[in-house]
Structure 1
Amino acid sequence: MFFFFFKFDPYIAIIGDIKNSKNIEERGKFQNKLNKILNEINEIYSDSISSNFTITLGDEFQGLLHSGEHVMDIIQYIKKESYPIKIRFGIGIGAITTDINSAISIGADGPGYYKARDSIEQLKALEKKNESTYGDIQIKIDGDNNLQELSLNSILKLMYCIEKDWTKKQREVVNYVLFEKKNQTETAHYFNVTQSNIQQILSKTHFYAYKDAFDSVNKILSEVKYDNKL
């Protein structure tokens, strides 16, 4: 059991920030695509969402969860559907001190969002320093949870080190196995290749280590729940 210590009702705020957004060709087209992706997230993971994922600026979006069990599924889905556009994610766990609009994530405020924003700014600062293992996901937790925060960020950095050099084809295979939950034979049939080829791809991508870490973060964050949700 991975214990968190809260003196408040915890929410999980997620802010997504598109990297190098000004360099994206056909920005309007991508924004429409992103809006479609967020609508899909809002539908698929509605049981965990308190405030729907919403584009807040041209290069940012945010959402609010009352349960952390699908945090990594949500982030991975957005990354999968947005590729090759890269996105940094700030996760903040804390209270929300204003009214929450379930339809759109605009107007709400509190430590949960402050922590998510701090996470985004820290990622940007590390990128400017050319830190090779800064990662693309950062989490900050309000309250007396420093060890829990450190442990989660260590896992997320290791996941980034595994993922950052995947090719487009490797990403397609990994995401198919992750989301469709298929075995190697079924995956080989889907991609019209041999089972041995899929095995090699999963080995080169360190898929099973990545999936263990992925599942661990989801399991740890599943303990963050606000039962009196909207």
Structure 2
Amino acid sequence: MKVKNHIVLMADIIKSRKSVQKRLMEDFIRITECINKTNSKQLLSPLTITLGDEFQGVVKSVFDACTVIFTLEEEIIRQQVDFKLRYVLAEGTIDTPINPEIAYGMLGEGLSKARKALQESKNEPSRFHIELLNSSKSQALNNSFLIYQALINSWNVKKDYELIIAFLKVGGYKQVAEKLGKTRSQIWKREKSLKINEYIAIKEIIHYIGN
């Protein structure tokens, strides 16, 4: 019988001990529940908070895992929560039955690999760590996520919140200009300075690699 490998997604809150715990946990729970609803079709087992500031889940594919990560990152921006997540995507076996209701009590190489990678990545600058059986694919995704992270880090979300959200939700500068009541010239310049087209492009590249 052929052993089936699964895609495990884990994440933790960066520097959570320095944050106000009650507010942080409320935000973390709300974001996680939101993703479990909006991305239920991508999840074999839902994102489940395990150690207070960490979650784990089982995703149908690498492509779907990338979609979940993108949705998480954009939802964090949309809800203006004050934390960032460190992600690990690992491929491996799961020995116990996959629970479609909660990602808890499962055992296997995939989960052990993800847990180890999450611990080892705590002192690394990248927030995205991919460990697939195909090492070339892993490297390509890790490099691409570095670019994705740099683009997000370049945004001043507090200053440009309304504009960033409009671009993520509405699309091109013409539609955003109409929605915000600004001139097309103004919004075109901001689209360039925020590197919105580059952001969309790197998401498409990551999806292409992960497919």
1:1-230 aligned within 5 A: 8-25=3-20, 27-82=21-76, 83-126=81-124, 134-141=125-132, 143=133, 145-168=134-157, 169-170=159-160, 173-178=163-168, 180-222=169-211
Q: State the shift of 1:154 in Å.
A: 0.9
Tell me how far apart the structure 2 counterparts of residues 175 and 215 of structure 1 sit (CA, whole Å). Answer: 19
Please list every run of 5 or more consecutive structure 1 residues that lacks an aligned counterpart in the other structure.
Answer: 1-6, 127-133, 223-230
Please list every run of 5 or more consecutive structure 2 residues that lacks an aligned counterpart in the other structure.
Answer: none
Could you state the TM-score of these two structures normalised by the residue count of structure 2?
Answer: 0.85
Deviation string 1:112-150 (CA, Å, 9 cap, x unpaired) is: 223322332332132xxxxxxx32111111x3x111111
Contact kept? 2:173, 2:184, Cα under 8 Å: yes
Q: State the shift of 1:172 in Å.
A: 5.2
Percent identity of the aligned residues? 25
Tell me how far apart the structure 2 counterparts of residues 53 and 23 of structure 1 sit (CA, whole Å). Answer: 24
Q: Specify whether residues 125 and 52 from structure 1 end up closer, same or farther in structure 2 by C-alpha distance, changes over 3 A only.
A: same
Q: Specify whether residues 176 and 73 from structure 1 end up closer, same or farther in structure 2 by C-alpha distance, changes over 3 A only.
A: farther
Q: Could you say which structure has the higher helix fraction? A: 2
SS in 2 for 1:98: coil
Contact kept? 2:85, 2:127, Cα under 8 Å: yes
Q: Specify whether residues 31 and 114 from structure 1 end up closer, same or farther in structure 2 by C-alpha distance, changes over 3 A only.
A: same
Superposed CA RMSD:
2.2
Q: Which has the higher contact order (CA 8 A, sep 6+)?
A: 1
